[in-house]
Amino acid sequence: MMMIKIKKEMIKEEIFMAANIESMFYVRETPWHGLGTRVMEAPTSKRALELAGLDWKVVQEPIYTENNELIEGYKANVREVDRKTLGVVTDRYKIIQNEEAFAFTDELLGEGVRYETAGSLQGGKKVWILARMPQEYIISGERISPYLLFSNTHDGSGAIKVALTPIRVVCNNTLNLALSTAKRSWSMIHTGDVHGKINEARDTLFMAEKYMDSLGKEFENLRMKKLTDSQVMEYIEILFPIDENYSSQQVRNIKKLQEDVKIRYFDAPDLQDVGKNAYRFINAVSDFATHANPLRRTANYKENLFLRTVDGNPLIDKAYQLVSVA
């Protein structure tokens, strides 16, 4: 009787673990899910901004001390509609309105690019439009969908920026690796004239296609790099190291993260036919970085995840470095 009881408990535990694994991989959303407004029907960037409520203007105003003394050399970027200060900049800073910043993207629509979502981050300091490129890429037998993210800032932190974000369709993992052969993001020089916009659009497509070609070659290289289970375990411990000074709670938390990545590498349904190689490991880490629930969810968690996706996630970059030298 005791043996039967033990077997039942073991079966229950296996069912529970299987259910956990299944739920982990059942719904995996894109990093921008829940952010911004869908603008798929927008025929122009101007209309996309209007639909997303981002067609406001920014003005520069002088800054004064508490004693009403003018602070020389600096001005405040203020959103005109609600008087919110978006940033303090030098008086040499030139405002580029959202409509101006994204106007060059209209030239891409003729090439088959389509707007998907538009929104803002950090209370309007960064405004973005996400567009889907016209073609999917079949790389190593897998569908990869590239997205272009255009962003404009009003806090003085950067120029107009374009970032390429390839998504593995089957799982919505982001795979914008820091390649040495092509850039995953670049800045645009705002000119304002028609010829400048056409050149900016042409440059954007050229840079995107160059990156995707390089990414395809690198995926093939990663698939050729076989990994043993012990190598995978070692890499995971490097990604999530346990310091001797950590408290017992911190150690438990790190071990939870390690276990999460192990499950994604060994048990993810969409990786079972990939083989045990560097490509599978990168996907497991990307899956964790993109979809895992954090130990502590902050109010800005979704925004921060989105920014890491666009600028390059340090965890995925480190994993890529590990397997590149293997």
What does R_g of the chain's alpha carbons equal in angstroms?
23
Per-residue model confidence as pLDDT tens digits over 234-276: 999 999 999 989 999 999 999 999 999 999 999 998 899 999 9
Type of residue found at 107:
E
Using an 8 Å Cβ cutoff, are 123 and 86 in contact?
A: yes
Using DSSP's 3-state secondary structure scheme, residue 190 falls into: coil
Residue 195 — pLDDT band, cuts 50, 70, 90?
low
Residue 238 CB neighbours (<10 A): 11
Cβ atoms of residues 79 and 127 within 8 Å: no
State residue 26's pLDDT score: 46
Q: Which positions ≥6 away from 72 have C-beta within 8 Å?
A: none
User: What whole-number distance in Å separates Cα of residue 278 and Cα of residue 255?
Assistant: 22
Residue given tokens 């009403």 in the structure block: 68
Q: Provide the pLDDT for residue 10.
A: 41
Rounded Cα–Cα distance for residues 288 and 294 (Å) = 10
Structure letter (DSSP) for residue 21: H
Average pLDDT over residues 275-302: 88
Contact partners, residue 209, CB within 8 Å, separation at least 6: none
pLDDT for 4 equals 37
Is 60 exceeded by the pLDDT of residue 16?
A: no
Evaluate if residue 184 carries a pLDDT over 80: yes
| Residues 30, 169: Cα–Cα separation, whole Å | 10
The whole-number pLDDT of residue 297 equals 77
Q: H or E segment at 16? A: helix 2-26
pLDDT band at 303 (very low <50, low <70, confident <90, very high): confident
**pLDDT for the residue 293:** 80
Number of H helices and number of E strands within the chain?
10, 11
Short-list 207, 140, 143, 149, CA closest to 179: 207
Q: For residue 23, what pLDDT band results from cuts at 50, 70 and 90?
A: very low
Mind listing the pLDDT tens digit for each residue in 54-76?
999 999 999 999 999 999 999 99
Q: Extract the tokens encoding 182.
A: 């092509």
**Quick one: 6 exposed, middle or buried, by C-beta within 10 A (0-12, 13-18, 19+)?**
exposed
pLDDT band for position 28 (cuts 50, 70, 90): low
Where is pLDDT greater, at 11 or 161? 161
Secondary structure (3-state) at 107: helix
CB atoms within 10 A of CB 74: 14
Indicate the pTM of the whole model. 0.82
